[in-house]
Amino acid sequence: MVEYQGVVQTLLAGMPEMLKAASPATLCAEVIWTAVTDGTATLRYTAGDDAKAFMANRTPSPPQTHPLDPARGNNTHHFWQQEQ
C-alpha cells in the first residue's frame, strides 16, 4: 500500500543497525525454554538487553488484560486441558 511506503522504507533502512544489537538466538531459546518449563503463570519474558529496552519504551498494558492471566481465574494449564 502506497500509504505505508514511508514507514516501511524507514524500518527497512534501520534494520541492519537493529540487528547488530539483537540478542543471539541461543539466548532467546533459553528464555523460551524457561518460559515453557518454569511452572509459573508469568506472561511476559525478555531475552537480552534489546528486549529490555523495547519493553521499557512500550506502552504498558496490565497483565490482567490477557485472557490466560490467573487473576481472571484462568491459567495456561487449565486452558490447554480444555482444548484437548
Q: 52 or 78, which is more confident?
A: 52
**Model pLDDT for residues 11-52, shown as the tens digit of each residue:** 899 989 888 888 999 999 999 999 999 999 888 899 999 888
Rounded to whole angstroms, the Cα distance separating 58 from 37 reads 27
Rounded to whole angstroms, the Cα distance separating 72 from 64 reads 7
Any idea which residue has 481465574 for its cell? 73
Name the grid cell of 19: 540487528
Helix (H, G, I), strand (E, B) or coil at 51: helix
